Amino acid sequence: MELTDFLSLIHPAIAVIFVFPLIGNVANLAWQARQRRLQTANKGKSKIPPVSGPEHRRLGELLTGAVVGLTLLGLAYPIGKNIVKNQLWSSPTSIFILLMFAATIASLVFLYRAKQKLWRGVFATLTGVGLVVLGLQDGVFRRTDEWYWSHYYYGIIAALLMIFL
């Protein structure tokens, strides 16, 4: 196994080991939070602990960061491979791509810190635009003619849904 083979396995391994179990935990806590709200609205008491709602939010934010990070990692491999293959180390495009990665990560961090709806919308939009712009770079296999089968489009849609919802 060469280094490129190992690097190509990092994205799916993190998805299977970290993100998929996190999806199950978030979905379980979402169900508990909803059941608790329904029970307290009808009866006034519930056996479900009150921490299920805040815990759902905390794990949901962690899931959002994991999905966006996984998407960035999935985009970094083909973009980096294209830069190395074409020897574009010091080109303006490579510098732009590095700045876009940094700006997208910074926007996600600021999204977590923002409390007002306006700033949350601004940073969510900046994070989403960063993902889309990075996804449109050379080297990323998009399968545009068959978008309904494309791993790229489903990954970007999943990341954007996690950011905006």
Domain count, the chain: 1
Q: Name the pTM for this structure.
A: 0.89
What CATH number should be reported for the domain holding residue 96?
1.20.1410
Full domain range(s) for residue 112: 3-164
Provide the pLDDT for residue 129: 97
> What's the whole-number mean pLDDT along residues 49-77?
93
Q: How far, in Å, CA of 80 to CA of 104, rounded?
A: 17
pLDDT in tens, 122-148: 999 999 999 999 999 988 988 888 888
- The confidence score (pLDDT) of residue 122 equals 97
Residue 5: predicted pLDDT: 83
Which pLDDT does position 101 carry in this prediction?
Answer: 97
Q: How far apart are CA 41 and CA 164, in angstroms?
A: 28
Q: Could you tell me which residues come within 8 angstroms of residue 84 by beta carbon, excluding any fewer than 6 positions away?
A: none
pLDDT tens string 64-97: 999 999 999 999 999 999 998 888 888 899 999 9
Cβ atoms 108, 67 nearer than 8 A: no
Longest dimension (CA), the chain: 67
Residue for token digits 């940094």?
102
- For residue 2, give the amino acid letter: E
> Who contacts 68 (Cβ-Cβ below 8 Å, separation ≥6)?
104, 108, 127, 131, 159, 162, 163
The confidence score (pLDDT) of residue 119 equals 97
